[in-house]
A = this chain, B = another copy of it.
Amino acid sequence: MFRRRHLVAATALAACLIAAPALADQGKSTATPTSQELLAKSSPAEWRRPDPSNLLVMQLPAGRVLIELAPDFTPLHAANIRTLVRQHYFDDLAIVRVQDNFVTQWDDPAGDDGGDPKKIRSLGKAKTKLPPEFTRPIDPKLPWTALPDGDVYAPQVGFSEGFPVARDPASGQEWLTHCYGMVGVGRDNGPETGNGSALYAVIGQAPRRLDRNLAVIGRVLEGMPLLSGLPRGTGPMGFYTAPAQRTAIESVQLAVDLPPAQRPSLEVLRTDSPTFTALIEAKRNRRDAFYAVPAGKVDLCDIDVPVRTAQATTSARP
């Protein structure tokens, strides 16, 4: 009785870390390759290891969360977050808020409403205010893989350096978008009041109205379930109402600061690779035994950039 498995098999592309075995009767009527088949045929050169200077390792009691920074889009925020991390700013802080269908947020609880202002942790050498970096001028030198189906919110959308991006040729600006798993910088009303000491990850339907209003600094590559599968806060806006409800952050480190053997070993599919383009097409038009009607379209935020454990490099001549 495969009833339940089939619904899932038909949608395996939704998973970020894909290692699902092909089901026995899957693909009988396949006219296009499955995502698994495409990934299996990809070449090593189509994968990249994230720069360890851009990789945050957040250790939670239940496991680790890996976040790749996007310094080509938000360089000042990336630098400030690196400064905070190297001061161990986030160690022993907490996940303070989980708002359903919206965001999971972590910061210094002492600075939140109801916290003790006298206990607010110093930002040390990090800046307390930063230029917004909500958008940046379109850089024709950055790789760009355009999506073909349009977008409700922006004139153009696609992927650049592994991240979902929107572009507006009229203004000449581009920006990272608030898709599931993207990480942004909390701020006060003033556009320059964000500094990276309060971060949030999107855990629901993409709140694209936030685009161009907040600095998006990267993407969760591993560990989303540790952020999305938490009990929702019952206070206003999903804040937890008691300290015991929070999830402790044991530490946040930069991968480059770890001994090489301890650095996360993972690879991200290049979004300017032929395999990624083929994956987009496979997602637009599912033609396996489950799908009666292929969508023929795909939304920017419904595409996950594949991540995998780094493969051992095999030399052609041992």
Residues of A within 8 A of B (CB): 1-12, 14-16, 20-21, 25, 96-103, 105, 107, 111-113, 115, 117, 120, 132, 134, 149-153, 179-181, 186-189, 191, 193, 198, 200, 204-214, 224-225, 228-232, 236-239, 283, 286, 289-295, 297-299, 301-302, 304
Contacts and interface: CB of A to CB of B under 8 A. Distances in A.
Contact of A102 (B11, B103, B230): B11
Nearest to A211: B295
Which of A115, A180, A187, A213 has the most chain B CB atoms inside 10 A of its CB? A213
Contacts of A2: 113, 188-189
A14 B102 contact: yes
* Interface secondary structure of A, over-half rule: loop
Contacts of A179: 205
Contact of A134 (B292, B294, B298): B292
A284 to B, nearest CB: 8
A292 B213 contact: yes
Contact of A205 (B25, B180, B237, B286): B180
A6 B188 contact: yes
A213 B290 contact: yes
Contacts of A7: 103, 105, 186-187, 198, 200, 214
Given A152-B298, A206-B205, A212-B292, A97 B3 contact: no
A96 to B, nearest CB: 7
B100 A228 contact: yes
B152 A180 contact: no
